[in-house]
A and B are shown apart, each in its own frame.
Chain A
Amino acid sequence: MLDFGLVTNYLPYMVDATWITLMLTLYSTVIGLTLGLVVALMKISKFKVLSLIADFYLWIIRGTPMLVQLFLVYFGLPQLGIELSPFVSAVIALGINAAAYIAEIYRSGIISISKGQMEAAESLGMGYFLKMRKVVLPQALRVSIPSLGNQAIMMLKDSSLASLVTISELLMVSQRYAATNYAFIEFYLVAAGFYLALTSVFTFILNRVERRISVSEL
Protein backbone atom coordinates (compact mmCIF):
# COMPACT_ATOMS: atom_id res chain seq x y z
CA MET A 1 0.00 0.00 0.00
CA LEU A 2 2.78 2.39 0.85
CA ASP A 3 5.16 3.00 -2.01
CA PHE A 4 8.36 4.66 -0.91
CA GLY A 5 9.86 3.82 -4.30
CA LEU A 6 7.79 6.69 -5.59
CA VAL A 7 9.62 9.12 -3.36
CA THR A 8 13.05 8.17 -4.67
CA ASN A 9 12.22 9.81 -8.00
CA TYR A 10 11.72 13.07 -6.21
CA LEU A 11 14.60 12.78 -3.76
CA PRO A 12 16.94 15.16 -5.59
CA TYR A 13 14.24 17.87 -5.46
CA MET A 14 13.65 17.19 -1.80
CA VAL A 15 17.36 17.48 -1.09
CA ASP A 16 17.39 20.85 -2.85
CA ALA A 17 14.40 21.92 -0.78
CA THR A 18 16.14 20.78 2.39
CA TRP A 19 19.06 22.97 1.41
CA ILE A 20 16.70 25.95 1.16
CA THR A 21 15.28 25.09 4.59
CA LEU A 22 18.80 25.01 5.99
CA MET A 23 19.70 28.35 4.40
CA LEU A 24 16.51 29.94 5.72
CA THR A 25 17.43 28.73 9.18
CA LEU A 26 21.06 29.82 9.01
CA TYR A 27 20.39 33.32 7.70
CA SER A 28 17.57 33.95 10.14
CA THR A 29 19.70 32.59 12.99
CA VAL A 30 22.45 35.05 12.12
CA ILE A 31 19.92 37.89 12.18
CA GLY A 32 18.44 36.56 15.41
CA LEU A 33 21.81 36.26 17.14
CA THR A 34 22.89 39.75 16.09
CA LEU A 35 19.65 41.62 16.62
CA GLY A 36 19.03 39.63 19.80
CA LEU A 37 22.33 40.85 21.24
CA VAL A 38 21.42 44.46 20.50
CA VAL A 39 18.00 44.02 22.10
CA ALA A 40 19.49 42.29 25.15
CA LEU A 41 22.03 45.07 25.68
CA MET A 42 19.30 47.67 25.26
CA LYS A 43 17.11 45.92 27.77
CA ILE A 44 19.79 45.85 30.46
CA SER A 45 20.98 49.36 29.60
CA LYS A 46 20.91 51.98 32.32
CA PHE A 47 19.34 54.32 29.77
CA LYS A 48 15.63 54.05 30.40
CA VAL A 49 14.66 54.91 26.82
CA LEU A 50 16.66 52.02 25.39
CA SER A 51 15.25 49.49 27.80
CA LEU A 52 11.71 50.71 27.12
CA ILE A 53 12.22 50.27 23.37
CA ALA A 54 13.51 46.76 24.01
CA ASP A 55 10.51 45.98 26.22
CA PHE A 56 8.16 47.19 23.52
CA TYR A 57 9.88 45.03 20.91
CA LEU A 58 9.71 41.93 23.11
CA TRP A 59 6.08 42.62 23.96
CA ILE A 60 5.00 42.87 20.31
CA ILE A 61 7.09 40.03 18.89
CA ARG A 62 6.46 37.51 21.62
CA GLY A 63 2.79 38.47 21.88
CA THR A 64 1.82 37.86 18.26
CA PRO A 65 1.96 34.72 16.09
CA MET A 66 4.99 34.36 13.89
CA LEU A 67 2.79 33.62 10.90
CA VAL A 68 1.09 37.00 11.27
CA GLN A 69 4.52 38.64 11.39
CA LEU A 70 5.58 36.76 8.28
CA PHE A 71 2.43 37.77 6.41
CA LEU A 72 2.91 41.39 7.43
CA VAL A 73 6.40 41.37 5.97
CA TYR A 74 5.59 39.43 2.81
CA PHE A 75 2.09 40.68 1.97
CA GLY A 76 2.02 43.90 3.97
CA LEU A 77 5.27 45.64 3.04
CA PRO A 78 4.55 45.69 -0.74
CA GLN A 79 1.51 47.79 0.10
CA LEU A 80 3.95 50.38 1.45
CA GLY A 81 6.05 50.08 -1.67
CA ILE A 82 8.65 47.74 -0.16
CA GLU A 83 8.83 44.60 -2.25
CA LEU A 84 11.03 41.82 -0.97
CA SER A 85 11.53 38.37 -2.42
CA PRO A 86 9.77 35.55 -0.55
CA PHE A 87 13.11 34.23 0.70
CA VAL A 88 14.26 37.62 2.04
CA SER A 89 10.84 38.22 3.61
CA ALA A 90 10.95 34.90 5.38
CA VAL A 91 14.54 35.40 6.60
CA ILE A 92 13.66 38.82 7.98
CA ALA A 93 10.45 37.67 9.66
CA LEU A 94 12.05 34.56 11.16
CA GLY A 95 15.11 36.56 12.25
CA ILE A 96 13.14 39.34 13.88
CA ASN A 97 10.98 36.81 15.67
CA ALA A 98 13.92 34.76 16.90
CA ALA A 99 15.77 37.87 18.07
CA ALA A 100 13.14 38.42 20.75
CA TYR A 101 13.66 34.98 22.24
CA ILE A 102 17.42 35.06 21.78
CA ALA A 103 17.59 38.46 23.49
CA GLU A 104 16.03 36.93 26.58
CA ILE A 105 18.51 34.04 26.46
CA TYR A 106 21.44 36.43 26.26
CA ARG A 107 20.00 38.60 28.99
CA SER A 108 19.69 35.77 31.46
CA GLY A 109 23.26 34.79 30.58
CA ILE A 110 24.52 38.31 31.17
CA ILE A 111 22.77 38.77 34.50
CA SER A 112 24.18 35.46 35.69
CA ILE A 113 27.69 36.95 35.51
CA SER A 114 28.71 38.13 38.96
CA LYS A 115 29.02 41.81 39.74
CA GLY A 116 32.61 41.16 40.74
CA GLN A 117 33.49 40.31 37.13
CA MET A 118 32.13 43.66 35.98
CA GLU A 119 34.01 45.47 38.73
CA ALA A 120 37.26 43.67 37.96
CA ALA A 121 36.93 44.66 34.30
CA GLU A 122 36.16 48.25 35.25
CA SER A 123 39.09 48.50 37.62
CA LEU A 124 41.36 47.44 34.78
CA GLY A 125 40.12 50.57 33.02
CA MET A 126 37.91 48.77 30.52
CA GLY A 127 35.11 50.82 29.02
CA TYR A 128 31.63 49.48 28.34
CA PHE A 129 32.28 47.83 24.98
CA LEU A 130 35.62 46.32 25.95
CA LYS A 131 34.16 44.99 29.18
CA MET A 132 31.28 43.41 27.28
CA ARG A 133 33.50 41.99 24.54
CA LYS A 134 36.31 40.54 26.63
CA VAL A 135 34.71 39.72 29.96
CA VAL A 136 30.91 39.63 30.07
CA LEU A 137 29.76 38.25 26.72
CA PRO A 138 32.27 35.39 26.44
CA GLN A 139 31.05 34.12 29.81
CA ALA A 140 27.38 34.87 29.13
CA LEU A 141 27.55 33.04 25.80
CA ARG A 142 28.94 29.93 27.43
CA VAL A 143 26.04 29.93 29.85
CA SER A 144 23.59 30.53 27.00
CA ILE A 145 24.76 27.84 24.61
CA PRO A 146 22.28 25.11 25.61
CA SER A 147 19.32 27.49 25.29
CA LEU A 148 20.64 28.93 22.05
CA GLY A 149 20.92 25.42 20.65
CA ASN A 150 17.34 24.76 21.60
CA GLN A 151 16.35 27.97 19.87
CA ALA A 152 18.21 26.98 16.68
CA ILE A 153 16.31 23.69 16.55
CA MET A 154 13.03 25.52 16.98
CA MET A 155 13.95 27.90 14.19
CA LEU A 156 14.73 25.04 11.85
CA LYS A 157 11.24 23.71 12.43
CA ASP A 158 9.64 27.15 12.30
CA SER A 159 11.18 27.69 8.88
CA SER A 160 8.46 25.37 7.54
CA LEU A 161 6.09 28.32 7.93
CA ALA A 162 7.88 29.85 4.96
CA SER A 163 6.03 27.34 2.77
CA LEU A 164 3.06 29.66 3.18
CA VAL A 165 4.82 32.49 1.37
CA THR A 166 5.60 30.43 -1.74
CA ILE A 167 9.13 29.37 -0.83
CA SER A 168 10.06 25.95 -2.18
CA GLU A 169 11.47 24.75 1.06
CA LEU A 170 11.16 21.20 2.33
CA LEU A 171 7.56 21.23 3.54
CA MET A 172 6.26 23.12 0.50
CA VAL A 173 7.91 20.70 -1.92
CA SER A 174 6.76 17.64 0.01
CA GLN A 175 3.23 18.98 0.05
CA ARG A 176 3.28 19.49 -3.69
CA TYR A 177 4.53 15.97 -4.52
CA ALA A 178 2.35 14.35 -1.88
CA ALA A 179 -0.72 15.90 -3.45
CA THR A 180 0.15 15.17 -7.07
CA ASN A 181 1.03 11.56 -6.29
CA TYR A 182 -1.63 11.06 -3.64
CA ALA A 183 1.10 9.69 -1.37
CA PHE A 184 0.85 11.81 1.76
CA ILE A 185 2.26 9.36 4.23
CA GLU A 186 5.30 8.62 2.11
CA PHE A 187 6.28 12.20 1.34
CA TYR A 188 5.51 13.62 4.77
CA LEU A 189 7.36 10.82 6.50
CA VAL A 190 10.38 11.42 4.31
CA ALA A 191 10.11 15.17 4.97
CA ALA A 192 9.94 14.48 8.69
CA GLY A 193 13.03 12.30 8.28
CA PHE A 194 14.91 15.16 6.65
CA TYR A 195 13.95 17.54 9.44
CA LEU A 196 14.96 14.96 12.01
CA ALA A 197 18.30 14.46 10.29
CA LEU A 198 19.00 18.20 10.36
CA THR A 199 18.00 18.64 14.00
CA SER A 200 20.11 15.60 14.90
CA VAL A 201 23.13 17.17 13.25
CA PHE A 202 22.45 20.43 15.14
CA THR A 203 22.16 18.55 18.41
CA PHE A 204 25.34 16.62 17.74
CA ILE A 205 27.34 19.77 17.00
CA LEU A 206 25.94 21.53 20.07
CA ASN A 207 26.80 18.64 22.34
CA ARG A 208 30.35 18.71 21.06
CA VAL A 209 30.60 22.45 21.65
CA GLU A 210 29.19 22.14 25.15
CA ARG A 211 31.51 19.32 26.09
CA ARG A 212 34.50 21.18 24.74
CA ILE A 213 33.68 24.20 26.85
CA SER A 214 33.04 22.23 30.00
CA VAL A 215 36.34 20.33 29.87
CA SER A 216 38.48 23.34 29.10
CA GLU A 217 37.42 25.71 31.84
CA LEU A 218 34.74 27.26 34.07
Chain B
Amino acid sequence: MVKELEVELEMQRPDIHEVSEPIIQVRNLEKCFGDLQVLKGINLTVNKGEVVALLGSSGSGKSTLLRCLNHLETITSGEITIDNIELNHSKKNISIIKREVGMVFQQFNLFPHMTVLENIVVGPIFVLKEDRKKAEAEAMILLEKIGLTEKKDYYPKKLSGGQQQRVAIARALAMKPKVMLFDEPTSSLDPELVGEVLNVMKQVAAAGMTMIVVTHEISFAKEVADRVIFMSDGKVEEEGHPNQVLVNPKSSKLASFLRIVKSE
Protein backbone atom coordinates (compact mmCIF):
# COMPACT_ATOMS: atom_id res chain seq x y z
CA MET B 1 0.00 0.00 0.00
CA VAL B 2 2.77 2.34 0.98
CA LYS B 3 4.56 1.38 -2.22
CA GLU B 4 1.59 2.43 -4.36
CA LEU B 5 1.29 5.69 -2.54
CA GLU B 6 4.97 6.35 -3.10
CA VAL B 7 4.69 5.74 -6.81
CA GLU B 8 1.76 8.09 -6.96
CA LEU B 9 3.60 10.81 -5.13
CA GLU B 10 6.66 10.36 -7.25
CA MET B 11 4.49 11.04 -10.29
CA GLN B 12 3.75 14.47 -8.95
CA ARG B 13 7.44 15.30 -9.15
CA PRO B 14 8.22 14.18 -12.62
CA ASP B 15 11.51 16.08 -13.06
CA ILE B 16 14.13 13.75 -11.63
CA HIS B 17 12.07 10.80 -10.60
CA GLU B 18 10.92 9.54 -13.94
CA VAL B 19 13.16 6.56 -13.56
CA SER B 20 12.73 5.39 -10.00
CA GLU B 21 15.58 3.03 -9.66
CA PRO B 22 16.58 2.03 -6.13
CA ILE B 23 20.08 3.07 -5.13
CA ILE B 24 19.99 2.31 -1.41
CA GLN B 25 18.40 -0.83 -0.05
CA VAL B 26 18.37 -1.66 3.62
CA ARG B 27 16.91 -4.94 4.84
CA ASN B 28 16.28 -5.91 8.47
CA LEU B 29 19.09 -3.73 9.68
CA GLU B 30 19.90 -4.19 13.36
CA LYS B 31 22.59 -2.44 15.31
CA CYS B 32 23.55 -3.01 18.91
CA PHE B 33 26.02 -1.14 21.08
CA GLY B 34 26.81 -3.80 23.64
CA ASP B 35 23.48 -4.77 25.19
CA LEU B 36 21.72 -1.72 23.84
CA GLN B 37 19.85 -2.32 20.62
CA VAL B 38 19.69 0.97 18.74
CA LEU B 39 18.26 -0.19 15.42
CA LYS B 40 15.56 -2.82 15.55
CA GLY B 41 15.03 -4.05 12.04
CA ILE B 42 15.06 -1.19 9.57
CA ASN B 43 13.81 -1.67 6.01
CA LEU B 44 14.40 1.19 3.65
CA THR B 45 14.63 1.74 -0.07
CA VAL B 46 15.81 5.03 -1.49
CA ASN B 47 15.54 5.71 -5.20
CA LYS B 48 18.02 7.58 -7.34
CA GLY B 49 17.57 11.32 -6.98
CA GLU B 50 15.26 11.00 -4.02
CA VAL B 51 15.60 13.34 -1.05
CA VAL B 52 14.71 11.69 2.22
CA ALA B 53 14.37 13.59 5.47
CA LEU B 54 15.02 11.47 8.53
CA LEU B 55 13.28 12.77 11.63
CA GLY B 56 13.15 11.52 15.16
CA SER B 57 13.93 12.57 18.68
CA SER B 58 17.41 12.02 20.03
CA GLY B 59 18.11 8.38 20.73
CA SER B 60 15.68 7.23 18.06
CA GLY B 61 18.53 5.76 16.03
CA LYS B 62 18.39 8.14 13.07
CA SER B 63 22.04 9.15 13.22
CA THR B 64 23.11 5.57 13.78
CA LEU B 65 21.17 4.50 10.69
CA LEU B 66 22.91 7.19 8.66
CA ARG B 67 26.32 6.21 10.01
CA CYS B 68 25.70 2.55 9.17
CA LEU B 69 25.14 3.52 5.54
CA ASN B 70 28.76 4.55 5.06
CA HIS B 71 30.28 2.10 7.47
CA LEU B 72 31.13 4.56 10.22
CA GLU B 73 29.30 1.98 12.30
CA THR B 74 29.48 -1.71 11.55
CA ILE B 75 26.07 -3.33 11.43
CA THR B 76 25.07 -6.13 13.78
CA SER B 77 22.79 -7.90 11.31
CA GLY B 78 20.84 -7.24 8.17
CA GLU B 79 21.84 -6.09 4.73
CA ILE B 80 22.78 -2.81 3.15
CA THR B 81 23.17 -2.48 -0.59
CA ILE B 82 24.22 0.78 -2.20
CA ASP B 83 24.41 1.13 -5.95
CA ASN B 84 24.24 -2.67 -6.28
CA ILE B 85 27.23 -3.15 -4.01
CA GLU B 86 26.66 -4.97 -0.77
CA LEU B 87 28.15 -3.42 2.32
CA ASN B 88 29.64 -6.53 3.88
CA HIS B 89 33.02 -7.53 5.21
CA SER B 90 34.67 -7.15 1.84
CA LYS B 91 37.26 -4.38 2.19
CA LYS B 92 36.91 -3.63 -1.49
CA ASN B 93 33.15 -3.11 -1.25
CA ILE B 94 33.53 -0.94 1.82
CA SER B 95 36.05 1.31 0.14
CA ILE B 96 33.92 1.65 -3.01
CA ILE B 97 30.87 2.54 -0.94
CA LYS B 98 32.80 5.05 1.13
CA ARG B 99 33.86 6.77 -2.06
CA GLU B 100 30.35 6.77 -3.49
CA VAL B 101 28.69 8.04 -0.33
CA GLY B 102 29.43 11.58 0.81
CA MET B 103 28.92 12.57 4.41
CA VAL B 104 28.31 15.93 6.04
CA PHE B 105 28.68 16.07 9.80
CA GLN B 106 27.04 18.15 12.48
CA GLN B 107 30.46 19.40 13.61
CA PHE B 108 31.67 20.09 10.04
CA ASN B 109 34.94 18.24 10.69
CA LEU B 110 36.95 20.23 8.19
CA PHE B 111 40.66 19.53 8.36
CA PRO B 112 42.02 22.47 10.36
CA HIS B 113 45.56 22.24 8.99
CA MET B 114 44.41 22.61 5.39
CA THR B 115 43.06 25.62 3.56
CA VAL B 116 39.53 25.58 2.16
CA LEU B 117 40.84 24.60 -1.27
CA GLU B 118 43.09 21.85 0.13
CA ASN B 119 40.17 20.47 2.13
CA ILE B 120 38.18 20.12 -1.06
CA VAL B 121 40.91 18.66 -3.29
CA VAL B 122 42.53 16.26 -0.82
CA GLY B 123 39.99 13.50 -1.55
CA PRO B 124 39.99 13.79 -5.34
CA ILE B 125 43.79 13.97 -5.51
CA PHE B 126 44.75 11.26 -3.03
CA VAL B 127 41.76 8.94 -3.09
CA LEU B 128 40.51 9.30 -6.67
CA LYS B 129 44.09 9.94 -7.94
CA GLU B 130 42.96 12.90 -9.98
CA ASP B 131 45.43 15.34 -11.44
CA ARG B 132 45.88 18.33 -9.10
CA LYS B 133 45.09 20.91 -11.77
CA LYS B 134 41.84 19.20 -12.69
CA ALA B 135 40.88 18.73 -9.04
CA GLU B 136 41.54 22.39 -8.27
CA ALA B 137 39.59 23.57 -11.29
CA GLU B 138 36.63 21.47 -10.19
CA ALA B 139 37.00 22.69 -6.62
CA MET B 140 36.82 26.27 -7.86
CA ILE B 141 33.53 25.50 -9.60
CA LEU B 142 32.17 24.06 -6.36
CA LEU B 143 33.43 27.08 -4.41
CA GLU B 144 31.61 29.34 -6.80
CA LYS B 145 28.41 27.37 -6.27
CA ILE B 146 28.65 27.74 -2.51
CA GLY B 147 29.69 31.38 -2.89
CA LEU B 148 33.07 31.12 -1.18
CA THR B 149 35.50 31.58 -4.05
CA GLU B 150 37.35 34.37 -2.29
CA LYS B 151 37.89 32.24 0.81
CA LYS B 152 39.79 29.49 -0.95
CA ASP B 153 43.09 30.14 0.82
CA TYR B 154 41.59 30.60 4.27
CA TYR B 155 42.00 28.12 7.05
CA PRO B 156 38.70 26.77 8.43
CA LYS B 157 39.19 28.52 11.75
CA LYS B 158 38.77 31.88 10.02
CA LEU B 159 35.36 30.95 8.66
CA SER B 160 31.94 31.16 10.30
CA GLY B 161 30.13 27.94 11.12
CA GLY B 162 27.85 28.34 8.14
CA GLN B 163 30.78 28.89 5.81
CA GLN B 164 32.58 25.88 7.25
CA GLN B 165 29.56 23.68 6.70
CA ARG B 166 29.21 24.90 3.11
CA VAL B 167 32.87 23.97 2.54
CA ALA B 168 32.21 20.57 4.13
CA ILE B 169 29.39 20.02 1.64
CA ALA B 170 31.69 21.03 -1.22
CA ARG B 171 34.38 18.69 0.10
CA ALA B 172 31.95 15.79 0.03
CA LEU B 173 30.63 16.75 -3.43
CA ALA B 174 34.17 16.91 -4.81
CA MET B 175 34.30 13.11 -4.55
CA LYS B 176 31.38 12.99 -7.02
CA PRO B 177 29.34 10.78 -4.72
CA LYS B 178 26.19 9.02 -5.78
CA VAL B 179 24.57 9.56 -2.41
CA MET B 180 24.96 12.36 0.11
CA LEU B 181 24.26 11.83 3.80
CA PHE B 182 23.70 14.81 6.09
CA ASP B 183 23.88 14.23 9.84
CA GLU B 184 22.10 17.19 11.46
CA PRO B 185 24.01 19.63 9.26
CA THR B 186 22.54 22.75 10.82
CA SER B 187 22.19 21.70 14.45
CA SER B 188 25.40 23.32 15.67
CA LEU B 189 24.91 26.56 13.77
CA ASP B 190 23.74 29.90 15.05
CA PRO B 191 20.17 30.47 13.84
CA GLU B 192 21.14 33.22 11.41
CA LEU B 193 23.59 30.87 9.65
CA VAL B 194 21.17 27.98 9.11
CA GLY B 195 19.63 29.48 5.97
CA GLU B 196 22.84 29.65 3.94
CA VAL B 197 23.57 25.99 4.56
CA LEU B 198 20.01 24.91 3.74
CA ASN B 199 20.24 26.91 0.53
CA VAL B 200 23.31 25.01 -0.56
CA MET B 201 21.55 21.75 0.30
CA LYS B 202 18.54 22.78 -1.78
CA GLN B 203 20.91 23.45 -4.66
CA VAL B 204 22.39 19.97 -4.27
CA ALA B 205 18.92 18.44 -4.19
CA ALA B 206 17.84 20.40 -7.26
CA ALA B 207 20.84 19.03 -9.13
CA GLY B 208 19.34 15.57 -8.68
CA MET B 209 21.52 14.20 -5.89
CA THR B 210 20.20 11.33 -3.81
CA MET B 211 20.14 12.65 -0.27
CA ILE B 212 19.33 11.41 3.19
CA VAL B 213 19.13 14.24 5.68
CA VAL B 214 18.85 13.81 9.41
CA THR B 215 17.33 17.09 10.48
CA HIS B 216 15.07 19.00 12.82
CA GLU B 217 14.31 21.60 10.16
CA ILE B 218 10.68 20.73 9.47
CA SER B 219 10.24 23.50 6.93
CA PHE B 220 13.25 22.23 4.99
CA ALA B 221 11.82 18.72 5.03
CA LYS B 222 8.50 20.02 3.80
CA GLU B 223 10.02 22.08 1.03
CA VAL B 224 12.78 19.81 -0.26
CA ALA B 225 12.15 16.23 0.80
CA ASP B 226 10.36 13.74 -1.42
CA ARG B 227 9.78 11.53 1.56
CA VAL B 228 9.88 11.91 5.30
CA ILE B 229 10.81 9.03 7.56
CA PHE B 230 10.06 9.34 11.23
CA MET B 231 12.01 7.06 13.49
CA SER B 232 11.23 6.17 17.05
CA ASP B 233 12.91 3.69 19.34
CA GLY B 234 15.05 2.14 16.61
CA LYS B 235 12.20 1.55 14.18
CA VAL B 236 10.55 3.39 11.34
CA GLU B 237 7.39 4.71 12.97
CA GLU B 238 5.89 6.46 9.98
CA GLU B 239 6.90 7.45 6.48
CA GLY B 240 5.41 9.15 3.51
CA HIS B 241 5.23 12.36 1.52
CA PRO B 242 6.00 15.40 3.66
CA ASN B 243 2.66 17.04 2.88
CA GLN B 244 0.91 14.04 4.29
CA VAL B 245 3.20 12.93 7.12
CA LEU B 246 4.05 16.36 8.44
CA VAL B 247 0.55 17.76 8.15
CA ASN B 248 -1.58 14.81 9.14
CA PRO B 249 0.60 12.40 11.07
CA LYS B 250 -1.01 9.05 11.79
CA SER B 251 1.25 8.13 14.66
CA SER B 252 0.73 9.89 17.96
CA LYS B 253 4.50 9.84 18.56
CA LEU B 254 5.10 11.79 15.36
CA ALA B 255 2.31 14.21 16.22
CA SER B 256 3.83 15.00 19.60
CA PHE B 257 7.34 15.18 18.08
CA LEU B 258 6.10 17.75 15.56
CA ARG B 259 4.45 19.79 18.29
CA ILE B 260 7.69 19.91 20.29
CA VAL B 261 9.88 20.78 17.29
CA LYS B 262 7.48 23.51 16.16
CA SER B 263 7.28 25.08 19.58
CA GLU B 264 11.08 25.40 19.73
Q: Name A's B-contacting residues (CB within 8 A).
A: 114, 116-117, 119-127, 130, 134-135, 138-139, 142, 216-218
5 new A-B pairs (CB below 8 Å) besides A123-B172, A130-B127? A116-B105, A116-B107, A121-B111, A125-B123, A126-B123
The answer to whether A134 touches B126 (Cβ under 8 A) is: yes
Q: Which B residues between 135 and 172 are near A, CB-CB below 8 angstroms?
A: 155, 157, 168, 171-172
The answer to whether A125 touches B95 (Cβ under 8 A) is: yes
- Please judge, given known A-B contacts A119-B105, A134-B126, whether A139 and B113 are in contact too, CB under 8 Å: yes
The answer to whether A217 touches B112 (Cβ under 8 A) is: yes
A160→B231 CA distance, assembly (Å): 67
A116→B111 CA distance, assembly (Å): 10
A122→B171 CA distance, assembly (Å): 13
The answer to whether B107 touches A124 (Cβ under 8 A) is: no
Contact residue among B72, B126, B128 (Cβ-Cβ distance under 8 Å from A122): B72
The answer to whether B109 touches A116 (Cβ under 8 A) is: yes
Chain A proximity of B245: nearest CB distance (Å): 29
Contact indicator per residue, chain B 42-76, by CB within 8 Å of chain A (1) or not (0): 00000000000000000000000000001110000
Chain A proximity of B74: nearest CB distance (Å): 12
B175 at the A interface (CB under 8 A): yes
The answer to whether A119 touches B109 (Cβ under 8 A) is: yes
The answer to whether A117 touches B111 (Cβ under 8 A) is: yes
In the A-B complex, the 10 residue pairs with the smallest Cβ-Cβ separation, listed nearest first, are A120-B109, A123-B103, A125-B99, A124-B123, A116-B109, A217-B155, A125-B127, A125-B98, A138-B113, A116-B107
Contact residue among A124, A138, A139 (Cβ-Cβ distance under 8 Å from B171): A124
The answer to whether B105 touches A124 (Cβ under 8 A) is: no
B228 at the A interface (CB under 8 A): no
- Please judge, given known A-B contacts A119-B105, A217-B113, A218-B113, whether A124 and B157 are in contact too, CB under 8 Å: no
- Please judge, given known A-B contacts A120-B105, A120-B111, whether A134 and B122 are in contact too, CB under 8 Å: yes
A119→B109 CA distance, assembly (Å): 8
The answer to whether B113 touches A142 (Cβ under 8 A) is: yes
The answer to whether A124 touches B109 (Cβ under 8 A) is: no
Q: Could you name 6 residue pairs across A and B whose Cβ atoms are closer than 8 Å?
A: A120-B103, A123-B70, A123-B172, A124-B122, A125-B98, A134-B126
